[in-house]
Amino acid sequence: MKLLKCPMNGVRPLSEFVFGGEVREMPDPNTCSDKEWATYVHHRNGAPGMKKEWWYHGPSGTWFIAERNTMTDEVARTYLYGQEDKQ
Amino acid sequence: MPLRLLKYAMSREHPAPRFFRACETPKKSYDAVIIGGGGHGLAAAYYLARDHGITNVAVLERGYIGGGNTGRNTTIVRSNYLTPEGVNFYNASVKLFEDLSQDLDLNLFYSTRGHFTLAHTESAMRTMRWRAEVNKHVGVESYVVGPDEISKACPQLDISCSGQAPILGALYHAPGSVARHDAVAWGYARGADHMGVEIFQSTEVTGIDVQGGKVKGVQTNRGYISTNKVLSAVAGFTPRVCKMVDVQTPIIIQPLQACVSEPMKPWLDTILVSGSLHVYVSQSSRGELVMGSSLDPYEVHSTRSSLDFVEGLTTHILDMFPFLSNVKVVRQWAGMADITPDFAPIMGKTPVEGFYLDAGWGTWGFKATPISGKTMAETIANDRAPDLINSFRLSRFEEYELTGEKGAASVGH
């Protein structure tokens, strides 16, 4: 069984979590071009590497960030959004 | 074939014939380079040579041919999709598959079994009716059947699914088939090789040379090859290849796992799929049950398989067939699937001139092998995509014209 560390609840089985995709900057919809917006909506950075991702712990309703290598599936660290420095 | 066999009967020596030449040193330049020696890439090479007379072509394969998703799928061929674009496209593929053994002079064990997509809820039944009507409209033989007809076709199936999810009906698709998937790759490789295409195994592309928005060549571990046309047909490696030419796509990679049971006497002659139970199962010509499930739930670039997968899948298989409880799973594996947001492929031209994409094949690639090869060959030869694949173009995303293909297997919707 794979495990993941929730910043609020500690190490839990992976089946309790939902993957939320890579953390991405949203361009300002009022000023960006249609092409930039379409890129934001549809395109993804699909190449492997170390990525910052959204994950959700279902039972406690906690959204948090995991830094994970998508090639090796190793998680470097997890933390609540905006609390990166407190870890 | 029979004459060749007769010759062996007369001779004391029985050397195994090579399917294709063992090419090692690439030429300095080719008219087209195909990255990826899977079914799709080899089919494109075959049709480029046969239909368009372009034979100065190199196929570059990082591992061995057919060793990627071509050899990792559950070999199902069908066309009972949801959108008219999808149904037309996959139907053209089924038609090519039906004659492919003759075309390639190789027995692909293409076996038409009939295909049931089981519905366990009223909403699933509604989707089945919808798919049946779209299929019929386009001329594909699919219709909705009730539990009695399913029981008649497969008496071993527990229609109540252990009382957990009783089957209300199914979408029956008469042309649903299975085929020997590696033979498809080998057949296309042999056909292409005979016409002059060179196939390089253990040959990895490390970079693509783009100058002024045009492809000029590819860098490989066997040296630089200059060419003006490159086709990427690399399944789970698409994001890596696209990064070399700076082309953006919506594709992310999720593993898709499958497994086979120990061989049994033939008892299952149809193909059964259940979206609700996340199961598809057929019996191979060797007697093994070939079973697949849904995608792994997050992005990983790896072909490692997991215990979670077999546990989950076999639980649902036992809901359908309780008598299999003593049957063993003998092999399991995973492939890396190119997942797109609308469950339709990405085919055709890209913003880089001379760089063509045959990608986004997620969990629906094997059945499209012949038609994708044929249409991509046409795209490369004419530098223009045929109408059949127009709705699969990469630019559909910026134009907000997604295809919405919900007939794909093993994806939740």
Segment A51-70, tens digit of pLDDT:
999 999 999 999 999 999 99
pLDDT score, position B2:
66
Note the pLDDT tens digit of each residue in A14-42.
999 999 999 999 999 999 999 999 999 99
Model confidence, pTM: 0.94
Residues B144-187 have pLDDT tens digits of 999 999 999 999 999 999 998 999 999 999 999 999 999 999 99
Contact A2 B306 (CB under 8 A): yes
Q: Are B303 and B136 in contact (CB under 8 A)?
A: no
For chain B, list the domains and their CATH numbers: 2-9+19-72+182-250+342-396 (3.50.50.60), 115-174+252-337 (3.30.9.10)
Could you report the predicted ipTM of this complex, rounded to two decimals? 0.94
Facing residue for A47 by CB, picked from B239, B297, B302? B239
Domain count, chain A: 1
Question: pLDDT for B295-317, tens place per residue?
Answer: 999 999 999 999 999 999 999 99
Instruction: Give the domain CATH number at A36.
Output: 3.30.2270.10
Quote the pLDDT of residue B160: 96
- pLDDT recorded at residue B294: 87
Whether the CB of B252 is below 8 Å from some CB of chain A: the reply is: yes
Two structure tokens written together for B186: 């080998």
Note the pLDDT of residue B120. Answer: 96
**pLDDT 10s digits, B370-388:** 999 999 999 999 999 999 9
What's the pLDDT score for residue A34? 93
In terms of CA atoms, which chain B residue is nearest residue A13?
B308
In this prediction, residue B412 carries a pLDDT of 43
| pLDDT of the residue at A86 | 72
Share of chain B above pLDDT 70, in %: 98
pLDDT score recorded for residue B210 = 98
Q: What is the mean pLDDT of residues B329-348?
A: 95
Domain carrying residue A57: 3-86
Q: Closest residue of A to B360, CA-based? A: A46
Distance (Å, whole) CA B12 – CA B301 = 49
- Label each residue of chain B as H, E or C: CHHHHHHHHHCCCCCCCCCCCCCCCCCCECCEEEECCCHHHHHHHHHHHHHHCCCCEEEECCCCCCCCHHHCCCCEECCCCCCHHHHHHHHHHHHHHHCHHHHHCCCCCCEECCEEEEECCHHHHHHHHHHHHHHHHHCCCEEEECHHHHHHHCCCCCCCHHHCCCCCEEEEECCCEECCHHHHHHHHHHHHHHCCCEEECCCCEEEEEEECCEEEEEEECCEEEECCCEEECCHHHHHHHHHHHCCCECCEEEEEEEEEECCCCCCCCCEEEECCCCEEEEECCCCCEEEEEEECCCCCCCCCCCHHHHHHHHHHHHHHCHHHHHCCEEEEEEEEEEECCCCCCEEEECCCECEEEEECCCCCCHHHHHHHHHHHHHHHHHCCCCHHHHHHCHHHCCCCCCCCCCCCCCCCC
Question: CB contact, 8 Å: B341 with chain A?
Answer: yes
- pLDDT value, residue B413: 38
- Which one of A19, A41, A72 has the shortest CB-CB distance to B298? A19
* Whole-number pLDDT of residue B256: 96
